[in-house]
Structure 1
Amino acid sequence: MLTRSRGFLLPLSAAVVAAVMAVPTAGAADAPAPDPAGTTAAEVPAGRTEPAPRTEPAAQAEPAPQAVPLPEADVSHHGHVALRDDRLAVRFRTANRGPADIAASTVRLRFSEPPAARQRLPEGCLWGGASVVLCATGELRSGGRARWTALDLRLAGRPAEVVVRVDTVWNGGVRDTDPRNDAHTVLAPSTGDAYAF
């Protein structure tokens, strides 16, 4: 590009044009850069700081519920089994040695030889399978009177012996302090004698 000045043509080089273009305008160099939040330092009054961003209060965790200890009791079953020919007699008592009372409990009796079909059970007992009988004992007070259960069953055959297993399947939801005395296995030969447990 050429221009006339006082009768002379002065060449303006590209370098001069670039230098003029690079000079900032007044006040442009002093402008503060915007912060990430979109405000500038010029927008905050002198002597004051920008307030911290608001945060929601942390939720307080609820305390974990404490486990309630189970009451303790000691259920026990003791009795005898006798077999003669096809007749099986089972007699036992259920007691509670405490310290807590038991509202109800259920005893299970399992037989190695199946009883004959269509025979009645005493009140409080029912069939739990072909060779299983369940009997309710009712309330058992700590140190109170024992509950007696008596079964007289006819077997499907005439075995030389029978195995009877006795245990507790429900004890009122208490923790049994000695479960060994309420689970028994008795072998009774066909002699008519009473075999204790």
Structure 2
Amino acid sequence: MGLSAVVVLGAGPAVADGPLPRSVPEVDLAYHGQVTMSRGRVETWLIPQNHGPSAVTDATVRLRWSAPVADARWLPPMCVRADARTVLCRTGALPADSRGERIRVPVRLAGAPSEVTVRIDTMWSGGSADHNPQNSTHHVLALDTGDVYYF
């Protein structure tokens, strides 16, 4: 009786049916800026930042006011009104460890509120994962005094 040998050549581990798992780039988006309110007009200025480690091809920052927006005709071209209280703005590309362009969002609120809360957060991060949302989510209370509130 003879001996037989089987040789198995392989190029790597066996793969199940379907696409290979892809790693999700990790980013750390942050927003810093200010909010002012005077006679129902609210101006929010912010600078997007990406602390890395990966680049972001584009992201969307969401600004939501606690009172309905009556007039948003002076929005910058990278921003759109999403609903009665919300505006969405593109940040543009953000390489790792970089700052984006300053975004100015002026709106006039409906009625005559004496204060407003502005929520700033990331709605979309270009398919990247941000495991530190504390520096990209803000709630800013602004009184109708013309004072500047920083975040």
TM-score (norm 2): 0.84
Q: CA 1:117–1:81 in structure 2 vs 1: closer, same or farther (change >3 Å)?
A: closer
- 3-state SS, counterpart of residue 69 of structure 2: coil
Paired residues of 2:45 and 2:103 also in contact (CA < 8 A): yes
Correspondence for 1:172 among 105, 123, 126: 126
Partner of 1:68: 22
Based on CA coordinates, which of the two structures has the bigger radius of gyration?
1
Partner of 2:33: 79
Partner of 1:95: 49
138-147 or 64-73: which moved more? 64-73
Partner of 2:69: 115
Paired residues of 2:56 and 2:94 also in contact (CA < 8 A): yes
100-109 or 170-179: which moved more? 170-179
Q: Which runs of 5+ in 1 are unaligned?
A: 1-61
Cα distance in 2 for residues equivalent to 1:72 and 1:101:
8
Correspondence for 2:87 among 133, 138, 142: 133
154-163 or 117-126: which moved more? 117-126
Cα distance in 1 for residues equivalent to 2:112 and 2:128:
40
Per-residue CA deviation, residues 95-144 of structure 1 (Å, 9 max, x unaligned), is 10111110000000101111214624111000100111000011001112
Higher-strand-fraction structure: 2
Alignment of 1:19-38 (within 5 A): none
Per-residue CA deviation, residues 50-75 of structure 1 (Å, 9 max, x unaligned), is xxxxxxxxxxxx63265222111111
Cα distance in 1 for residues equivalent to 2:101 and 2:77:
13
Cα distance in 2 for residues equivalent to 1:71 and 1:113:
36
Larger relative contact order (Cα-Cα within 8 Å, sequence gap ≥ 6): 2
Higher-helix-fraction structure: 1
Correspondence for 2:103 among 135, 141, 149: 149
Partner of 2:143: 189
How many equivalent pairs are there?
136
Cα distance in 2 for residues equivalent to 1:80 and 1:169:
19
- 3-state SS, counterpart of residue 147 of structure 1: coil
Moved over 6 A (4+): none
Cα distance in 2 for residues equivalent to 1:152 and 1:117:
9
- AA partner of residue 122 (structure 1): P
- AA partner of residue 134 (structure 1): L
Per-residue CA deviation, residues 3-60 of structure 1 (Å, 9 max, x unaligned), is xxxxxxxxxxxxxxxxxxxxxxxxxxxxxxxxxxxxxxxxxxxxxxxxxxxxxxxxxx
TM-score (norm 1): 0.65
Cα distance in 2 for residues equivalent to 1:184 and 1:145:
18
